[in-house]
Amino acid sequence: MPENRNTPFHIGNVRIPGRVIFAPMAGVSDLPFRLLCREQGAALVCMEMISAKAITYRNARTADLMVTDPAEAPVSLQLFGCEPEIMQRACQMIEDRNFDILDINMGCPVHKVVANGEGSALMKDPALIEKMVRAAAAGTSRPVTVKIRRGFEEGSENAVECALAAQQGGASAVAVHGRTRAQMYSGRADWTCIARVKEALDIPVIGNGDIVDGPSALHMMEETGCDAVMIARAARGNPWIFREVSAYLTDRTAPERPARRHIVQMLLRHARMLCACKGEKIGIREMRAHAAWYITGFPSAARVRSMIVRVNTLAELEQLLKKEYPYA
């Protein structure tokens, strides 16, 4: 029998029931989709990143982003910021929220975040990383984790130094994306930096970058020694990837891919959940991108996508899909 690589492990005092984790993604990892990914086998799901400063300002939109459901546990709440005092205050203010792990984003490459010294900009200053983690740990009873990249740019690949700073500050795990900030999401992820971080740290290391199926997940674990894998873009329109990767890591089996009718059924279920959660106007607007991802590889997908971007109600979406894919 092949070795089971999908066994439970712990992040701090939180038991994670498997080794396949759904990454935080702005505009993607909201409550409805987290529930679907958890249902399909994600062992840990992560919220969209939330501004620590916005929490201290008691922003209403921010409060909506922090809503969780008991069915998705364990769930990680991710904050971003660059001021230790504000990070600690934000952690204290959300202590009564229902989540299991507190993560600090140190990997976001988006310009407006980096320009404020947040996200991956923190990798320029490992000493500040240690202060940020220490401040967060002082403000919460939950395990604190961080998500970093290979480095800020080519020639300054300091993932090991930043990960060690996070561990020194009290982090319970570190996730490493094998690309620099300058790469954004282009090119290939460099997994060797994940291996170097794993070798240097005493806490769990989660590998991220170019995981698209079971074999690639197993390959990363074998090549880097990482404790778990984190899936991001490959999950868009594809919550089944967690079921598939979990099965492959467990016994090297590969469940059948869902038939097109099952994909359409999941798409519509996702749409209904989004509308129930956020109201039909916002829900359908946000569902347009998800729907486009779901129908990747379908007949006439490009043409149908051009119509999906114009739907404004759940009924319109249902009618469009029924017309274009009646077999579903």
Q: Is 300 helix (H, G, I), strand (E, B) or coil?
A: coil
Alpha-carbon gap, residue 148 to 138, rounded angstroms: 21
- Cβ neighbours around 216 below 10 Å, total: 17
- Cβ neighbours around 318 below 10 Å, total: 16
CA distances from 287 to 228, 232, 243, 267 (A): 29, 17, 22, 9
Burial class (CB within 10 angstroms; exposed 0-12, middle 13-18, buried 19+) of 192: middle
> Amino acid identity of 18?
G
User: In which region does residue 155 sit, left (phi positive, over 0), alpha (psi from -120 to 50) or beta (all else)?
Assistant: left
Q: Of the residues 46, 91, 108, 226, which is catalytic?
A: 108
- Cβ neighbours around 253 below 10 Å, total: 10
Please enumerate in sequence order all residues whose Cβ is within 8 A of that of 90, keeping only pairs 6 or more positions apart, or say none: 52, 53, 55, 56, 79, 81, 139
Whether residue 108 lies in the annotated active site: yes
Alpha-carbon gap, residue 320 to 308, rounded angstroms: 8
Tokens 């829900």 sit on residue: 283
**Residues annotated catalytic, as ranges:** 108
